[in-house]
Amino acid sequence: MSKTTAAIESVRNSPDHAGLPGEFPAYAWPGGYPIIYLTEDGSVLCPDCVNGKNDSEVGNPEVDGDPQWTVVAHDCYWEGPPMQCDHCNGEIESAYGDPDAMKIKLDNLDRDDDSVLVTCEDKEAARDDQSIEGSHWECPRDMEGAYAVISDRPGLVEALEKEGYDVDASNYCPPDE
């Protein structure tokens, strides 16, 4: 039995994944936590690539034993910035986000000028970041945090998250696309 076949069997036969179809799962059960897969050469693969999608060679008997395609371990990706699959370059999100990401809050509910007020409680992080979406952070002395006013646009939250911000959009209403 190849190492990859053994790894697949260990995932399928683990109590957490018993009864799942014949693929590596993308999420742990119970909980729905994202799973990453490690190869013998230390690469990280996403579930699609481990399941032979995206033109990957995982499970191909012709390359059996090749360290870049031999899956040897799997784990839940609990927290951290999005990880990149070493084969398809797809992003693998962590279950709890990046604890080091700058936390910002968007607010446009009382605004009618296509702008968004962005606040950050960490004045030092805002100073280090300097700008957001082309606008500079303001850090008044009489305020505990920092703020910036940016232009609203479709996909703003996703763009900010992709830049590494932890976005609270509870007071934000996206524009119509």
Q: What is the pLDDT of residues 133-157, one digit of tens each?
A: 999 999 998 888 999 999 999 999 9
**Among candidates 70, 10, 4, which has minimal Cα distance to 40?**
70
**Do 98 and 80 contact (CB within 8 A), yes or no?**
yes
Residue 97 maps to a domain: no
pLDDT tens figures, 36-46:
999 889 999 99
- CA pair distance 118, 105, nearest whole angstrom: 6
Provide DSSP, 96-135.
S--TTSPEEEEE-TT--SSEEEEEES-HHHHHHH-EETTE
Please identify, among 48, 71, 92, the residue that sits at the C-terminal boundary of a domain.
92
- CA pair distance 131, 128, nearest whole angstrom: 9
In a shared domain, residues 83 and 110: no
Residue 117 maps to a domain: yes
pLDDT tens figures, 79-136:
998 899 999 999 998 998 888 889 999 999 888 899 999 999 998 888 888 899 999 9
Tally of domains in the chain: 2
Residue 19: pLDDT over 60: no
Please identify, among 92, 120, 153, the residue that sits at the C-terminal boundary of a domain.
92
In a shared domain, residues 37 and 65: yes
Residue 119 maps to a domain: yes
One-letter amino acid identity for 55?
D
Q: Could you list the residue range(s) of the whole structural domain that residue 45 is in?
A: 3-92
Residue 115 maps to a domain: yes
- In the structure, what pLDDT confidence band is assigned to residue 159 with cuts at 50, 70 and 90? very high
Residue 176 maps to a domain: no
pTM, two decimals, is 0.61
For 102, the token pair is 């700058």
Q: Is 84 strand, coil or helix?
A: strand
Q: What is the pLDDT of residue 17?
A: 47
Q: Is 80 strand, coil or helix?
A: coil
- Phi, psi values for residue 27, rounded to 5°: -135, 145
In a shared domain, residues 88 and 110: no
In a shared domain, residues 66 and 120: no
Please identify, among 92, 112, 138, the residue that sits at the C-terminal boundary of a domain.
92
Tokens 């100073």: give the residue.
127
